[in-house]
Amino acid sequence: MTSNVIAITDQEAAFSAAQDAIAAGEVIVLPTDTVYGVGADATSGAAVQRLLDAKERGRDFPPPVLVAEVGMVRALATGVDDRLTRLAEAFWPGALTVILKARETLRMDLGDRGDTIAVRVPDQEFTRELLRRTGPLAVSSANVHGRDAATTIEQALEQLGERCTVYLDAGTMDGSVPSTIVDLTGPQARVLRDGRISVAELNEAVPGLVEVPAEEPTAEDPTTDAQSEGETPESDAPTTETPDSDAPGSETPEADAPGSEAPGSDAPTTEAPESGAGPVSESEVPEPETESEAPGAGASDTPAAQAAATEPEGTGPDADRA
């Protein structure tokens, strides 16, 4: 099978070749507003499987679906509410992928997607026009699974070769930042992957959409309770210059405690000895090393581990970078 590379500047030839390939259940490479994508007819299970085979990826990574208009989303998903409407007004077309509950009657074999579907309206006019002509396409980043997504047609060709029949060349893609993934399947939206659209921008479009955790005080925070850090406030610090003090650890000219100055000296000792007996204030006792400070601890708390634990199937970075 020979691959056909067509510049999108030759629009009719590009549209014709792409439409014919999609209708035949083949896989194409097309531009998006992030990276090049590999696309296939979303309503054909065989075509989607060819897409997954081209990427050398399993069915546990179902691809997202690209559509031309917001209105097409309602044919794919259920429970679409005001949150999606307002997000779409603010960010579509654009780099926002939304996870929604799929319609029970949806006949799209995208892989092991469960009862959800990922959708996006790309900010690429040629591709949106192609989507109007073909209908929804299953689209994932143009790369072999585990390798970098292609930002040029040459990179896509090098990785995918004759697995794709049509390559639509639109120059170099701006793939520096992927799309943001937002899960709207529950009452509280969740950002599954940070991307081009920030949490602040999401909450500006839909106030309170994403819960922002309160910042914890740092060690330098002047509001931090000094005693909780094992420190004694200066106003309560023990005084070492009071000769009449009988408190443990105080030092007077008559004190015979180890560490006092040599006999004959009448000056009180105000410096702590390097070693020896004598009470030590609680603030001077080093705290034991906590489990989180131990070498190698906390590996499961890394952002990558947390993302892997929270992302639904098929919505990871490689799943929708296009």
pLDDT digits (tens, 9 = 90+) for 153-176: 999 999 999 999 999 999 999 887
Give residue 295's pLDDT.
36
Task: Look at strands 190-193 and 180-183 and give their pairing.
Answer: antiparallel
Structure tokens at 229: 């850090």
CA separation for the pair 306, 153 (Å, rounded): 34
CATH number for position 15: 3.90.870.10
Q: Name, in order, each residue with C-beta under 8 angstroms of 190's C-beta and a sequence gap of 6 or more.
A: 182, 183, 210, 310
The dihedral formed by the CA atoms of 88, 89, 91 and 96, expressed in degrees to the nearest 10: 0
pTM of the predicted model as reported, rounded to 2 decimal places: 0.68
CA separation for the pair 49, 301 (Å, rounded): 34
Q: How confident is the model at residue 97 (pLDDT cuts 50, 70, 90)?
A: very high
CA angle, 220 then 224 then 228, to 5°: 115
Task: Look at strands 4-7 and 96-102 and give their pairing.
Answer: unpaired
Length reported for the chain: 322
Q: What percent of the chain has pLDDT over 90?
A: 59
DSSP category for residue 289: P
The SS3 assignment for 36 reads strand
Mean pLDDT, range 192-198, rounded to an integer: 96
Q: How confident is the model at residue 218 (pLDDT cuts 50, 70, 90)?
A: low
Give residue 166's pLDDT.
98
The SS3 assignment for 305 reads helix
DSSP string, 218-258: PTT-TTS-GGGGT---GGGPPPS--TT--STT---TT---T
Asked if residue 65 is part of any domain, the answer here is: yes
Domain encompassing residue 72: 4-211
Asked if residue 287 is part of any domain, the answer here is: no
Q: What is the total count of domains within the chain?
A: 1
Asked if residue 177 is part of any domain, the answer here is: yes
Mean pLDDT, range 133-137, rounded to an integer: 97
Asked if residue 183 is part of any domain, the answer here is: yes
pLDDT tops 90 at residue 239: no
Instruction: Convert the pLDDT of each residue in 273-305 to its tens digit.
Output: 444 444 444 444 444 443 333 333 333 333 333
Asked if residue 191 is part of any domain, the answer here is: yes
Asked if residue 292 is part of any domain, the answer here is: no
Instruction: Convert the pLDDT of each residue in 19-64 to its tens digit.
Output: 999 999 999 999 999 999 999 999 999 999 999 999 999 998 899 9
pLDDT tops 70 at residue 246: no
CA separation for the pair 71, 103 (Å, rounded): 15
Asked if residue 176 is part of any domain, the answer here is: yes
CA separation for the pair 115, 79 (Å, rounded): 12
> If you search the block for the tokens 């990574």, which residue do you land on?
61
Average pLDDT, the chain: 78
Asked if residue 61 is part of any domain, the answer here is: yes
